[in-house]
Amino acid sequence: MRLEGKVALITGGARGQGAAEARLFVKEGAKVVIGDILDVEGQKLEAEIAETGGECLYVHLDVTSEADWKNGIDRAVAQFGKLDILVNNAGIFIPAGLEETDEDLWDRTMDINAKGVFLGTKLAIPEMRNAGSGSIVNISSTAGLRGSLSTAAYSASKGAVRLLTKSTAIQYARDNIRANSVHPGIIETDMTLPTLLVDEESRQKRISRTPLGRVGIADDVAYGVLFLASDEASFITGSELVIDGGRTAQGFSECQFHFRSGFIKTLRAYCIPFSRLQVCQSIWPDPTTYQFQNAVVVRGSHPSQLAIPALVYNYTHLVSRKLLQGIDFS
């Protein structure tokens, strides 16, 4: 088994992605500590794993509390003798643009998504050093790799996780402690169902932008986390594992423009530099084009059908109601 003899602490492990990781880790031989604030769900999962013969302990753990972290790690070591693996999985997702994000939302998002990773990492490292090695897997997001129109605080928090992971990796490599980040795309969980996958239209919209043609499931992420946690990844640290069905590999972006007047319009168009226009026309017959200063907007089929990536180029020139007046992009 891939985690035989290992002890793992997984935050946000009571349900969803964290629960999938906990079940998989136990299946692969690990002793697992589940940390969460969802006590009922966490205790049920603890009992479920025990019924299958696995070793699991649930602890109440608010990742924003240093005292909770100390208690969780102390109980893990007291119960199982050591700590080999930390999966910082706990997080929240509340979509909001920059101007729609108030101070409370910003602080709550950063506290749970970023500060929680910092506290857990800081307090787990001494026990991993005592154990002789360790693996830290931080769950970031594809939102931590690129900008977003509607997730200011969430993107900032996941970007922070990404770079904290790299700093951890280089600081503690000498102690044989590895740190890597995982960047899921759209994964069907309790967190995304009421937000990104709220109805069938939303689901199909996201599927249409994913080259593999489906929404991810929790096990897709769990198997990636398992690999990074295991000794199979012993020469991997400071790396990023993207699990998104190929979505971030695409070189295009669908732009949604928000105007101060309250007018909101989705611009289903793609900006391509003049130098690429001739090439695009050769494989994208008779596109309807509109010229704005030094960029061209091409309307037509989805760019995933193109042989070259469509490039977003100077789209700030397009974010002007004056420029868009009188043009139908529907």
Domain ranges of the chain: 7-249, 255-324
Strand, helix or coil for residue 221? helix
In the prediction, which pLDDT does 251 show? 53
In sequence order, the 6+-apart residues with CB closer than 8 A to the CB of 235 are: none
Token duo for residue 15: 């349900």
In the prediction, which pLDDT does 3 show? 98
In the prediction, which pLDDT does 200 show? 80
Do the beta carbons of residue 80 and residue 31 sit within 8 Å?
A: yes
Q: 218-229 and 16-27 helices cross at what angle (nearest 10)?
A: 50
- Residue 234 CA to residue 297 CA, distance in Å, equals 47
In the prediction, which pLDDT does 61 show? 98
In the prediction, which pLDDT does 10 show? 98
- Residue 91 CA to residue 24 CA, distance in Å, equals 20
Token duo for residue 238: 């400071």
121 backbone dihedrals φ, ψ, rounded to 5°: -65, -50
In the prediction, which pLDDT does 323 show? 42
CATH class for the domain made up of 7-249: alpha beta
Catalytic residue among 154, 172, 270, 315: 154
H-type alpha helices, 98-237 = 103-110, 116-131, 152-172, 200-208, 218-229
Do the beta carbons of residue 129 and residue 108 sit within 8 Å?
A: no
- Residue 219 CA to residue 21 CA, distance in Å, equals 7
Give how far the C-alpha of residue 300 lies from the chain's centroid of Cα atoms, to the nearest Å: 30
Predicted TM-score of the model (pTM): 0.77
In the prediction, which pLDDT does 193 show? 61
- pLDDT by residue, tens only, the chain of 330 residues: 999 999 999 999 999 999 999 999 999 999 999 999 999 999 999 999 999 999 999 999 999 999 999 999 999 999 999 999 999 999 999 989 999 999 999 999 999 999 999 999 999 999 999 999 999 999 999 999 988 888 899 999 999 999 999 999 999 999 999 999 999 988 887 776 677 666 887 778 778 888 899 888 999 999 999 999 999 999 999 999 999 999 899 854 443 333 333 333 333 344 444 344 443 444 444 444 434 333 444 444 444 333 333 333 333 334 443 344 443 433
- Catalytic residue list contains 223: no
In the prediction, which pLDDT does 198 show? 66
